[in-house]
Amino acid sequence: MNAEMLWLGLGFLGQSLFSMRFLVQWWASERCKRSVVPLAFWYFSLAGGAALLAYAVYRADPVFIVGQLGGLVIYARNLHLISRERRRTAGVHGREPA
C-alpha cells in the first residue's frame, strides 16, 4: 500500500465519520419522537472534520480546507459549551462534575 492509498483511505474514513453523525442524530430523534442533537453528533463532527481537513490539506484544496476548518471551530466550541453546561448543572444539583 502506498501513501496515495493511505490518504485516500483517510479521506473515506473522514467522510464516513462525518456521515455517521446524521445517522446518530436521526436515530436519537426517532427514539425521543422529537428533534434532538446528541453529544455523539458533535464528536463524529469533530473526528470526521479533522480527518477531512487532513485529507484536504494533502490534496491542497483551499475550498475544502476553509470549509472544514470553519466547521472544526464550531464543533469544538459546541463541545466546550456542552461540557461547561454539564459542570454548571452538576454544581447546581450538588454532584461532582464527571
Q: pLDDT tens digits for 36-68?
A: 999 999 999 999 999 999 999 999 999 999 999
Rounded to 5°, the CA angle 80-84-86 comes to: 120
Through-space distance between the first and last CA atoms of the chain, rounded to whole angstroms: 42
Whole-number Å distance between alpha carbons of 14 and 37: 20
Q: Is residue 98 part of a domain?
A: no
CB 48 within 8 A of CB 10: no
User: Is the confidence at residue 15, as pLDDT, over 60?
Assistant: yes
Q: Is residue 53 part of a domain?
A: yes
Q: Is residue 40 part of a domain?
A: yes
Residue range 73-98, pLDDT digits in tens: 999 999 999 999 999 998 887 765 55
pTM confidence score: 0.81
How confident is the model at residue 73, as a pLDDT? 95
Q: Which residue has the higher pLDDT, 17 or 97?
A: 17
Count of structural domains, the chain:
1
The residue segments making up the domain with residue 11 are 3-93
How confident is the model at residue 76, as a pLDDT? 96
